[in-house]
Structure formats: C-alpha cells, structure tokens
Amino acid sequence: MPEQKTTFCRICEPLCGMVATVDDGRLISLRPDREHPLSAGFACQKGIAFAEVQNDPDRVTTPLRRGPTGFEPVSWDDAMADIAGRLADIHRRHGSGGIGWYWGNPGAFSYSHTLWLPMFMAALGPKSHLFTAGSQDVNNRFVASQLLYGNPLVLPVPDVLRADLLVVVGANPVVSHGSVLTLPRIRDRMHDVVKRGGRVLVIDPRKTETRSSSGCPSCPTATPSYCCRCYR
C-alpha cells in the first residue's frame, strides 16, 4: 500500500519541503509539499527528479572494483583497504602533491565532513590539493566574507523576509533558487520586499534571469535592460 511521507530536499541548503510516495520501502515519486511553512509547494526540478536518481538502474549501491572482465562488487572492508594501500603508495612515491580531493554536496552540508577533511589534507602534507564545487558555485561569496569579516566561512544569512532594501550584486537568485540565502521561493520573497514598500537593487553587467523582465521583482513590465525602480 503506497504511503505519503513528509521529507525535504538535501541538494542545497534551502531544504525545500517534499512529499515522498513510498511503496514497500521503494521511492515511487516526489512532489513539493504545499504545507511546508517556507517552500509552500515550491521545489526546483533537481529535487523533483531525485526519484529518478534513486531508482536509476545504473546507480552504484555497493563498492565496485575494476577487474579483467569489468567492474566487480567487493565488500566495504576490501574497498577501503585497497584504497588506503593505493593512497599510501602514491604518497610514498610522489609526496602530498600527488594527492587531490574534490568535494561538494552533500558533504558540504555535513559538519563532521567539513571538520575532518581539512585536517586530513593537512596531515598528508602542505602540497596536497583540495578542489570543491565552489569554483562553479559560491567561491565569490567566500571571497566576500574573507574581505568583509576576515574569515571565508562566516556566511551571515540576510533577513530577506524583513528587509526594506535588498541589494543583489553579481548573483542570480532566480536561477539558484535562494541557495546560500537559505530561502526557497526567492522570486516571491523579492516581490514581497517591494510590496511592503521596499526596494530590490540588482547590480550585474549581465542580463540575468533576475535582471530580466520576468525576474524583476519591482517592475514586472520593465524591459530586460532597464527598470526604473531596480536598476538605477
């Protein structure tokens, strides 16, 4: 008998509410939760499509090791021992400069992961490399925090729900769906700023979706290149 289970999306930190249809332990579908107090029935296509990721027949659910006839399943103990042995050998032959780590979601939302990873890389040596999805995502935000607050990890969340003036510099929240703002339904929230008498100012050399006529929260009828209330 299919059951409806309340859950949320973990792809990014707005954590939009979702309702999962589950039948005998198997995820059948996902839909936005209209009863969620923040997302209120909104979810981006990535969250909704995650049922397809969960049920993808090619999804890897156990460690696989390449053998003479292709990839073969192995136990977690065997996989970890093999990886540790190969990593130690690379470290001996090439030093810490021969080792790099790449991380992004969902590891970025695990406090334990973010605590032990820098220490692990430092233990390998000063030349080890750490790569993140931030180079395509929010590295500019980390640089701004470093310049403003002296620490790239200080990420204050603006109180958009009560703001009278919202300034968006070089960002495209209509596409990023409120990520880093921790605020789903960001287009509606920008409209709310103007409805209560405030102003939204977008500063961007590009005509992004947030700058466009469909994304302009202050003047929906404005042309994409100019808005008398937003882009003065």
* Cα–Cα distance measured from residue 34 to residue 152, given in angstroms and rounded to the nearest whole number: 35
- Helices then strands (H, E): number in the chain? 7, 9
Taking only the tens of pLDDT, the chain with its 232 residues reads: 899 999 999 888 788 999 999 999 999 999 999 999 989 999 888 888 999 999 999 999 999 999 999 999 999 999 999 999 999 999 999 999 999 999 887 787 788 988 899 899 999 999 999 888 887 777 888 898 999 999 988 888 889 999 999 998 888 888 888 777 888 888 888 999 999 999 999 888 888 888 774 445 445 444 333 343 443 3
How confident is the model at residue 223, as a pLDDT? 39
Whether pTM exceeds 0.75:
no
Parallel/antiparallel/unpaired status of strands 129-132 and 165-169: unpaired
CA atoms within 13 A on the CB side of 214: 5
For 50, the token pair is 């995650």
Integer Rg of the chain from CA: 22
* Cα–Cα distance measured from residue 9 to residue 13, given in angstroms and rounded to the nearest whole number: 8
How confident is the model at residue 226, as a pLDDT? 35
Q: Decide: helix, strand or coil at residue 165.
A: strand
| Domains (range + CATH), the chain | 3-54 (3.30.200.210), 64-135 (no CATH), 151-232 (no CATH)
| Close Cβ partners of 203 (under 8 Å, ≥ 6 residues apart) | 167, 168, 169, 170
- Report in angstroms the alpha-carbon separations of 231 from 76, 81, 124, 178, 224: 55, 58, 49, 20, 10
Residue 54's CB: how many other CB atoms inside 10 A? 13
How confident is the model at residue 96, as a pLDDT? 95
* Cα–Cα distance measured from residue 163 to residue 178, given in angstroms and rounded to the nearest whole number: 15
How confident is the model at residue 132, as a pLDDT? 86
Question: Is-contact 185 178, C-beta < 8 A?
Answer: yes
How confident is the model at residue 76, as a pLDDT? 97
